[in-house]
Amino acid sequence: TDRKKLHTAPLGQVFRLRPFHVLIATGGGYAGYRKYEDYKLEQLEKRGIEVPVKLASEWEVALYKSVPTRLLSRAWGRLNQVELPTWLRKPVYSLYIWTFGVNMKEAAVEDLHHYRNLSEFFRRKLKPQARPVCCLHSVISPSDGKILNFGQVKNCEVEQVKGVTYSLESFLGPRISTEELHFSQAPPGNSFQQQLVTKEGNELYHCVIYLAPGDYHCFHSPTDWRVSHRRHFPGSLMSVNPGVARWIKELFCHNERVVLTGDWKHGFFSLTAVGATNVGSIRIYFDQDLHTNSPRYSKGSYNDFSFISNNNKEGIPMRKGEHLGEFNLGSTIVLIFEAPKDFKFHLKAGQKIRFGEALGSL
């Protein structure tokens, strides 16, 4: 007689699925499947087996883009800011270090209890001697990472990985005025690529560097140059690991990115920081007006900001190796620049590289 009565809801209410829940479950499950496929491809590459290029279909890309990665990345950013209890810091950070192979001996502060939250740990500084800057070469690596591709830009197409390309104009956006960039007027040309080459006899080059979660997350100036313009593209935040880059054509054009454009001694120079899943936060140290992965910006648009003004005719001068910005986790840096025809890269596709090491020289 003292038994409590159990009240149950009708089965129809218990199993009622909302469209948002279906979207999360479907998209999340498919993303997990793709991660497994990427893992298998990596294992084949390690064994030296050539992997044929298999591009995603339109419906696969649309399904992937339907996953609310921007919202999830903002949530991840909030979580990273939560201060961890002192007793919990070492176990949490040690697990991350073990998972991604982080070398804490290079960190300026090796004591894990020093980092109050995950965000501080991701953005840790290195000891000054840990990354010596090469003085013998004109262009150095702006970050730690893996070289995905490099070489000359041909036919207005850039390779994100071997055999998979994206449009140069879609990636950088419309041409910026030569007056704003301090350029001499470019020779008349029909293609977007020819418009970027401002000096006769020069070629356009590119280099793509992928930052893994265990890499040093800050990036630096790759050479001596002047930054004149910033263009921010709000977009998706799909994964940019090499497996996905091999699968989705024009991946870098879909994702959120910040394009810094200017000039160096040989003409046009640009550095683009590409966002990714859980890396919606891209910070440029000298640009306090930049706010990435913000709900106020819609996909498919872009916003410009000029560092040239009546009070500043030179833009932002950057010295080789100087701190430039940081990612929240890890992502991709794309360099596109003009140089004479005898410019040579000192790289191999797939090699690991560290900030300060040589990319190329004349």
Whole-number Å distance between alpha carbons of 94 and 89: 8
- Above 60 in pLDDT, residue 309? yes
Question: How much is the pLDDT for 217?
Answer: 87
Phi-psi region of 88 (alpha: psi -120 to 50; beta: other; left: phi over 0): alpha
Cα–Cα nearest to 254, from 333, 171, 164, 334: 171
Whole-number Å distance between alpha carbons of 147 and 242: 10
One-letter amino acid at 84 equals L
Prediction pTM value? 0.81
Q: Decide: helix, strand or coil at residue 257.
A: strand
Question: How much is the pLDDT for 229?
Answer: 94
Average of pLDDT values for 37-55? 65
Question: In terms of pLDDT, which residue wins out, 2 or 92?
Answer: 92
Question: How much is the pLDDT for 181?
Answer: 55
User: What confidence tens digit (pLDDT) does each residue in 60-90 have?
Assistant: 888 888 888 788 877 877 888 889 999 999 9
CA 25 from chain centre, in angstroms, equals 26
Catalytic center residues: 144, 220, 331
How deeply is 25 buried, as exposed, middle or buried, from its count of CB atoms within 10 A (0-12, 13-18, 19+)?
exposed
| Side-chain half-sphere CA neighbours of 34 within 13 A | 24
- Above 90 in pLDDT, residue 230? yes
Average of pLDDT values for 280-309? 83
Question: How much is the pLDDT for 120?
Answer: 86
Q: Helices 58-66 and 19-46 sit at what angle, rounded to 10 degrees? A: 120
Q: Other C-beta atoms within 10 Å of 332: how many?
A: 28
Question: How much is the pLDDT for 23?
Answer: 47
> Where are the chain's structural domains?
139-174+190-361
How deeply is 34 buried, as exposed, middle or buried, from its count of CB atoms within 10 A (0-12, 13-18, 19+)?
buried
**Which of the 8 DSSP states describes residue 162?**
T
| Side-chain half-sphere CA neighbours of 189 within 13 A | 16
Whole-number Å distance between alpha carbons of 210 and 143: 9
Whole-number Å distance between alpha carbons of 129 and 132: 6
Res. 14 pLDDT band, cuts 50 70 90: very low
| DSSP H or E run through 167 | strand 164-167
- Above 50 in pLDDT, residue 91? yes
Res. 42 pLDDT band, cuts 50 70 90: low
- Above 90 in pLDDT, residue 166? no
Residue with tokens 């990472």: 145
Res. 50 pLDDT band, cuts 50 70 90: low
